[in-house]
Amino acid sequence: MRRLEQVAARIARAAQRAGRNPSEVKLVAVTKGVNTERLKKVLPYGLRVFGENRVQEFLKKYEILGEQAEWHMIGHLQRNKAKYLAGKVALIHSLESLELAKLLDRLSPAHGRSWRVLIQVNVAGEATKYGVAPSRLGQFLDAIRDLQGLEVCGLMTIAPYCEDPEEVRPVFRRLRELREEMAETRRWLNLEHLSMGMSNDFEVAVEEGATLVRIGSALFGG
């Protein structure tokens, strides 16, 4: 799969430019709009981490592919849909409300383990984007600290779309700085992951410390 090879090479070069080991960066293939037949074809190439935006689409694909892949929920998660993910997803990238956090905590017995989650942070302050405001991140983390059904594994952000990826470098840098600040002031946290960067800007995100990049069109076209 030529596109996969090209994306992997670009990730590796970006990591090396930043003095990082490319193995620190995991590629999450965004499967929105990609049918299961195409997904079956990429499995033999080692592409096994799939990120889906919508619960309904995820369930259709999970029914066919199941545990052949590691599934991540990367889109906004409505509370009335959360129960359908129990026992099926490895990571939720988009926790951004206390109500959803408490619901997931209550659903953890059905999930069979603590939910691994990332906190979505609206670094750019876009009115059209979900996410915790950077100024409220510490307060939010403190509020969910005692929820035993959650394992907070890191932070996620969506940068504004720009023709020049360099324009969003400050967004990615700020998320990395927020992780460092939270780790310093809240030693109980283990913020392993930074989920940031998509097809148009993932190289800059990797240079700024991304451990998870969410890539769709660069892999599947469209």
- Hey, where are the domains in the chain? 2-220
- Indicate whether this model's pTM tops 0.95: yes
92 — pLDDT class (breaks 50, 70, 90): very high
Q: Which residues contact 131 (CB under 8 A, 6 or more apart)?
A: 96, 120, 121, 122, 123, 157, 158
Q: What's the longest Cα–Cα distance across the chain?
A: 47
| Arithmetic mean of pLDDT, 132-156 | 98
H-only helix segments in 67-113: 98-111
Query: What percent of the chain lies above the pLDDT cut of 70?
Result: 100
| Arithmetic mean of pLDDT, 203-219 | 98
CA atoms in the 13 A half-sphere facing the CB of 156: 28
pLDDT higher than threshold 80 for residue 148: yes
What's the pLDDT at 183?
96
Query: What percent of the chain lies above the pLDDT cut of 90?
Result: 99
Topology of the domain comprising 2-220: TIM Barrel (3.20.20)
What's the pLDDT at 1?
79
| Pairing status of strand 26-30 against strand 49-52 | parallel
pLDDT higher than threshold 80 for residue 222: no
